[in-house]
């Protein structure tokens, strides 16, 4: 039987913070998104091309 692990520190997950083990790991993951540490593959797009100002 395999137990799922926290994607940040690899400790056992806690239901309250799933899929993480603690609020610390959950916050570390959120900070990675805010700091652009994660990226979706593809060409860079200028924000003005997506939603030009009127």
Provide the CATH number for the domain around residue 23.
Answer: 3.30.50.10
Q: What tokens were used for 3?
A: 């137990």
Domain extent, residue 12, equals 1-38
Q: Is 5 contained in some domain?
A: yes
pTM above 0.75, yes or no: no
Residue 5 φ then ψ, to 5°: -115, 160
Sign of CA dihedral 34, 35, 38, 41: positive
| Model confidence pLDDT, tens digit, residues 2-31 | 589 999 999 999 999 999 999 999 999 999
Number of structural domains the chain divides into: 1
Q: Is 28 contained in some domain?
A: yes
Distance spanning both ends of the chain, measured CA to CA: 57
Q: Is the pLDDT of residue 1 over 60?
A: no
Q: Is 53 contained in some domain?
A: no
Q: Is 44 contained in some domain?
A: no
């Amino acid at each position: 039987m395999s137990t799922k692990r926290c994607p940040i520190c690899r400790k056992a997950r806690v239901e309250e913070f799933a899929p993480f083990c603690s609020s610390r790991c959950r916050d570390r993951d959120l900070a990675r998104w805010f700091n652009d540490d994660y990226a979706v593959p593809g060409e860079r797009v200028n924000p003005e091309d997506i939603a030009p100002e009127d």
